[in-house]
Chain A
Amino acid sequence: MKKKFVVGGLVILGALGYLVYAGLTQSAVYFVTPSELAAGPVPGKAYRLGGLVAPGTLEWHPRTLDLRFALTDGKSTVPVRHRGTPPDLFAEGRGAVVEGAWTAEGYFRAQQIFAKHSEEYQAPPSEAHRAGYEELLRTLRGEPR
């Protein structure tokens, strides 16, 4: 009797091991920095790319939902394109992680953008920042500047 259970258990454990192995080989994605990607990008291969959104590179075309920016680690810079609105917490000079693939055309096509949620907030923004919000409110309400 005991033997049946041991054999059954081993079969299940084997199946589990196979599931994990197959899952990892199919779905684990290499996590690279812009320099690492620039050193030898393989077109079509899935990567997760993490870096800083390089200042002055963010372009957003609302009509076509085309989002372009570059991720940098200070040494290399990788151009990234994405279809969709920039997510909350996404801005120039901030960290971002994107998942997608390198294309033969020489840019990174991001399927997903992860911006960091953080529990505590560092640099408190300036007064100018607040003034910007207030101006936005006035504009929307149609009040004079």
Chain B
Amino acid sequence: MIPELGQGTLFVALGLAVLGTGLAVAGGRTGRTALVESAQHAALGVFALLTAAFVLLVYAFLTFDFSVRYVAHNTNLGTPFWYRITGVWGALEGSLVLWAWMLALYTVVVAARHRERARVFHPWVLATLLGVLAFFVSVMTLAAPPFTRLAPVPADGRGLNPLLEDTGMITHPVALYLGFTGFTVPFAYAVAALVTGRLGDDWIQLTRRWTLTAWYFLSLGLLIGGWWSYHVLGWGGYWAWDPVENAAFMPWLTGTAFLHSIMIQERRRMLKLWNLALVILTFSLTLFGTFLTRSGVIASVHAFTQGAVGAFFLGFLALVVLLSLGLLAWRWDALRAQGELDSVVSRESAFLLNNLLLVGATFTVFFGTIFPLLSEALRGVKVSVGAPFFNQVNVPLFLGLIFLMGVGPLIAWRRASLDNLRRNFLGPVAAGVVAAAVFHRLGAGSALAVLALALTVFVAATIALDIGRATRARLRMGERLPAAVLGLLVRHHRRYGGFIVHLGVLLVAVGVTGSQAWSVQTEATLERGQAAELAGYRFRFDRLDAAEASNHFKVIATFSVSNGRSTGAMHPAKKFYPQETTPIAAVDYRTGLVEDVYLVLGDFARDGSRATVKIQVNRLVTWIWIGGAVLTLGTALALLPERRKAA
């Protein structure tokens, strides 16, 4: 009964979303508010129905309703409570439910908040959001229905993929989807701006905080994904340039470009066309990412379920791109730039270059990801493009971006004088050069790592310089130190929020540099009592134990780890899930600010006399996660509501 109710709910939601889209378009064309009001009610209805569908699916998981195919495939009687809830989005059908529900949530919040402020845009924003929603709900009803029955009903389900049984899997998809769906909001406003012909920066002002929110969740999703990979997969890495990762990274790159380029439009009335194109591109890339990962056209180690879903997404992507390009062409004359660039050495060109590098990086990631497809289609040769390509191509671009992160915020608008350059950059450049010399003397080894860290120091110095200067000005006004800094941050929260986000990105860069340049690893088979050594640590294999959890068995090794000063035990393990033919490693690692000690249990003798272990000492990885926390603080600051200007 429950599954049929769920299925029915989705069909009604589809009808309502289509109806709402029609009503909103009609309202936009005729200007009749009654129609727009009705569309708004339809949006509320869709949200309520999707909430109901989501709750029904959770209920089916919690009650082990194995008559539902999706439940039977993604849970079993041993699955712990919380993972029965997160199992809801453990595979395709449920992820779509979560995705659509989030989009509906964004839709009703936008409708409630912007109804009054953006009367002209409102019908078209609603129409776009409801149209996209209608698409997602149609996929859920036609191509990947979550409530399909299974006959005969199995006594127990297959269980969730054990790799997904992790706290990272509770938060990673939620953050990622909030990011993906969030970019629909600025896209909807861009469409509304194009349709209504109000191409000024109204739509940008209205969506700045939405874009920032979406960007933040996408960043968080990527970072949590890296963290999950690091502590679950047992290879000691956080990013593999896999197509699935690239699919999420591309909209992040263009979204980042968009966040920067809108500042030029706000300030100089330039780049109207570019900004619209960027937001359309970002939204399209979120669809493309889903197509890429769900259609099975590209071999990925993540191997999601395949099916008719790919065709749906490709079709919708084509529709979105065609309609958007049509709108851009229609408004072409109005979109021609009004401002002119004054000088090559100016903030405008720093931002332009930033955009060029970000979009360039997007292009290289895109090209590298689809190159195997192209090569097979055009030359009949199967190739694979892996991490070496992406690193080789992107590292120079990212170094350039870090450099610009220091230049952009401090260089003068329009035309930077020699004096402006000297005043703002002499100190930071000197700091960077000194840092490079110091790192080199300390034996950093890799020239690339020295360059990356020196650039990081340069950027950090520009931020310190700016904050120091502004604080001193406030101190001269008689404020006390903590109040002065706090007042500065709150008063100019957009600027300093941005700076703090930059600091977060710098910390991530430090972590990536350190782990790539200085991590070491070894692998050894040890008899009981025997020890291996790596990077000043001694690892002695003591014993193997067995344990049992609700849905798996566990073989736990004990290693005594000492580095001359302290000793402790570490317990890498192997988990045996009855539904799996091979065991899965459970990593044990000890985090530190300088280095992580990371143990992965490989093979072992059944009598516990011998174990093979992979040992890694990973440098500075923790700074990636700290960077994520700093980035969160910065975004929160930048998201504070704008102060009303005194009339």
Q: How far is the CB of B303 from chain A (nearest CB, A)?
A: 5
Kindly list chain B residues whose C-beta atoms are within 8 Å of the C-beta of A130: 578
* Cα(A83)–Cα(B357), bound, Å: 40
Q: Are A4 and B603 in contact (CB under 8 A)?
A: no
B residues less than 8 Å from A4 (CB atoms)? 344
In the complex, B316 has a CB within 8 A of chain A: no
Give chain B interface residues in 529-546, CB to chain A under 8 Å.
Answer: 544-546
B interface secondary structure, majority: mixed
| Residues of A contacting B524 in the complex (Cβ-Cβ under 8 angstroms) | 65
- Please pick, from B305, B357, B363, B389, the residue contacting A23 in the complex, using a CB distance under 8 A: B389
Residues of A within 8 A of B581 (CB): 91, 94, 125, 129
Binary contact track A85-118/B, C-beta < 8 Å → 1, others 0: 1101111001000010000000000000010111
Q: Is the CB of B582 within 8 A of A120?
A: no
Q: How far is the CA of A119 from the CA of B612 in the complex (A)?
A: 28
Known interface pairs A90-B582, A119-B304; A140-B544 also in contact (CB < 8 Å): yes
The interface residues of chain B lying within 8 Å CB-to-CB of A116 are 301, 303
Residue numbers in B under 8 Å from A94 (CB-CB) = 581-582
Instruction: Output the nearest chain A residue to B606 by Cβ-Cβ distance.
Output: A139
Give A114 to B302 CA distance when docked, in angstroms.
11
In this assembly, does B396 line the interface, its C-beta being within 8 Å of a C-beta of chain A? yes
Smallest CB–CB gap between A111 and chain B, Å? 11
CB of A38 closer than 8 Å to a CB of B: no
Residue of B nearest to A22 (CB): B392
A41 at the interface (CB under 8 A from B): no
Q: Are B583 and A88 in contact (CB under 8 A)?
A: yes
Question: Does A84 interact with chain B (Cβ within 8 Å)?
Answer: yes
Interface-located stretch among B114-122, B127-135, B157-165: B157-165
Q: Would B523 and A20 count as touching, CB distance under 8 A? A: no
Complex contact A27–B389 (CB within 8 A):
yes
A126 vs chain B, min Cβ distance (A): 10
A62 touches B525 (CB 8 A): yes
* B contact residues, total (Cβ < 8 Å): 73
Q: Which of B383, B553, B607, B612 contacts A30 (CB 8 A)?
A: B383
Report the bound CA distance from A29 to B352 in whole Å.
35
Minimum CB–CB distance from A132 to chain B (whole Å) comes to 9
**Known A1-B340, A118-B303, A125-B579; contact A62-B610, beta-carbon cutoff 8 A:** yes
Query: With A20-B364, A28-B389 in contact, is A65–B302 under 8 Å at CB?
Result: no
Do A121 and B159 form a contact, CB below 8 Å, given A8-B344, A20-B367, A62-B603? Answer: yes
Are B579's CB and A5's CB within 8 A?
Answer: no
Shortest Cβ gap from B638 to chain A (Å): 29
Name the contact of A121 in the complex, choosing from B234, B343, B579 (C-beta under 8 A). Answer: B579
**CB neighbours of A8 from chain B (8 A):** 344
B249-260 vs A, CB cutoff 8 Å, 1 = contact: the mask equals: 000000000000
Residue B33 lies at the interface, judged by CB distance under 8 Å to chain A: no
Chain A interface size, as a band, is 35 or more
Encoded as 1 (CB less than 8 Å from any A CB) or 0, chain B from 322 to 351 comes to 000000000000000000111110000100
On chain A, the residues within 8 Å of B304 by CB distance are 119
Establish whether residues B161 and A140, one from each chain, have CB atoms under 8 Å apart when the complex forms: no
Residues of A within 8 A of B408 (CB): none
- B342, A1: Cβ atoms under 8 Å? yes
Q: With an 8 A cutoff between CB atoms, is A75 at the interface?
A: no
Q: A85 touches which one: B360, B523, B546, B584 (CB < 8 A)?
A: B523
Contact B553 A29 (CB under 8 A): no
B397: chain A residues within 8 A (beta carbon)? 16, 19
Name A1-49 residues within 8 Å CB distance of B: 1-2, 4-5, 8-9, 12-13, 16, 19-20, 22-24, 26-32, 48
State whether B341 touches A5 (Cβ < 8 A). yes
Query: Are A28 and B90 interface neighbours, CB within 8 A?
Result: no
Judging by beta carbons under 8 Å apart, are B393 and A23 in contact?
Answer: yes
Interface residue from A1, A5, A120, A141 paired with B546 (Cβ < 8 Å): A141
The residue that B525 contacts in the complex, of A19, A65, A86, with Cβ under 8 A, is A65
Q: Is B548 part of the binding interface, using a Cβ–Cβ cutoff of 8 Å?
A: yes
Beyond A16-B364, A124-B579, A140-B545, whether A24 also contacts B385 by CB under 8 A is yes
Min C-beta distance of B298 to chain A, whole Å: 12
* B384→A28 contact, CB < 8 A: yes
In the complex formed, the residue of A with least CB distance to B614 is: A85
Q: A19 contacts which chain B residues (CB < 8 A)?
A: 364, 392-393, 396-397
Which of B364, B383, B555, B603 contacts A86, CB < 8 Å? B603
Q: Are A118 and B161 in contact (CB under 8 A)?
A: yes
Q: Are B603 and A133 within 8 A (Cβ)?
A: no
CA–CA, A61 to B524, complex, Å?
12
A65, B91: Cα distance in complex, Å:
36
Cβ–Cβ contact A140 & B546, under 8 A: yes
User: Mask for B60-88, Cβ within 8 A of A = 1, else 0?
Assistant: 00000000000001100000000000000
Bound-state CA distance A117–B545 (Å) is 27
Chain A residues positioned under 8 Å from B73 (CB to CB): 120-121
A29 CB contacts on chain B under 8 angstroms:
383-386
> Does B576 reach chain A (CB closer than 8 Å)?
yes
Report the separation of the CA atoms of residues A20 and B397 in the bound assembly, to the nearest whole angstrom.
Answer: 12
Contact B161 A119 (CB under 8 A): yes
**Contact: A120 with B305, CB < 8 Å?**
yes
Closest to A50 in B: B299
- Partner among A20, A65, A129 whose Cβ is within 8 Å of the Cβ of B393: A20
A83 to B163 CA separation, bound complex (whole angstroms): 25
Q: Does B372 contact A (CB under 8 A)?
A: yes
A-B contact pairs, 12 of them (CB 8 A): A5-B352, A12-B360, A16-B364, A27-B389, A62-B605, A94-B582, A99-B384, A114-B301, A117-B302, A121-B161, A125-B581, A133-B553
Which residues in A have some Cβ–Cβ distance to B below 8 Å?
Answer: 1-2, 4-5, 8-9, 12-13, 16, 19-20, 22-24, 26-32, 48, 60, 62-63, 65, 83-86, 88-91, 94, 99, 114, 116-121, 124-125, 129-130, 133-134, 136-137, 139-141
10 closest A-B pairs (Cβ-Cβ)? A85-B602, A31-B382, A27-B389, A27-B388, A140-B546, A62-B525, A137-B546, A23-B393, A23-B389, A28-B383
Known A9-B356, A62-B612, A65-B524; 10 more pairs at CB < 8 Å: A8-B344, A13-B360, A20-B368, A20-B393, A88-B234, A88-B584, A94-B582, A119-B302, A121-B73, A137-B546
